[in-house]
Amino acid sequence: MHPETAYLDLLRRVLEKGSYQNDRTGIGCYSLFGDQIRFPIKDTFPLLTTKKVFWKGIVEELLWFLKGDTNNKNLKEKGVHIWDGNSTREFLDKTGLTHYKDDDCGAIYSFQWTHFGAEYKDCNTDYTGKGVNQIDWIINEIKTNPNSRRMMMSAWNPADLKKMCLPPCHVSAQFHVRDGKYLSYVSA
């Protein structure tokens, strides 16, 4: 089945069988818990949307995460405004992060991916050598222990949830190497 068809079928299932629930935005959403679709990533990027996307924004945000950056100012300087609404003074104050400066997103994805377990202070602190760099750990496992079933990465750190301007939606990723050369990945 073509990836786009699989995605549209999932959307149809959500609308037909999903249940409505309120959410943090006040808009609400329909959801179908545990359903999934699979995409071959060898020759394509699994971008799931029926809308036009800001590709540069996707790439810049991912690079920002991989660097461990939590300062939204650095994204804004590149013309990417994905985190603007969650790093304003008003939003930070409303979520109890009154001690953060504007544009400090807190211990979000990027911090958890690159410094898991370190104590978050602010977006300007140098965290070199602090916590666990899960990205480096996974890359090393893929290279040195490709048969491992434990190549997991987590952005969900209950101890840091109150230190994040927005808790993660995509909380985990698992990697698998098949036949020593095919990399698979699952995100939840």
pLDDT digits (tens, 9 = 90+) for 12-70: 999 999 999 998 888 999 999 988 887 777 777 777 777 888 999 999 999 999 999 99
User: pLDDT class for 72, splitting at 50, 70, 90?
Assistant: very high
Query: What are the beta bridge partners of residue 182?
Result: 178
Q: Please give the pLDDT value at position 28.
A: 92
Asked if residue 116 lies in contact with residue 159, where contact means CB atoms within 8 angstroms, the answer is: no
Domain range summary for the chain, segments of one domain joined by +? 1-45, 54-187
> pTM to 2 decimals?
0.87
Is it the case that residue 75 has pLDDT exceeding 80?
A: yes
Q: Decide if domain 54-187 falls under CATH 3.30.572.10.
A: yes
Q: Active-site positions? A: 169
Q: Which residues have a Cβ under 8 Å from the Cβ of 90 and sit 6 or more positions away?
A: none
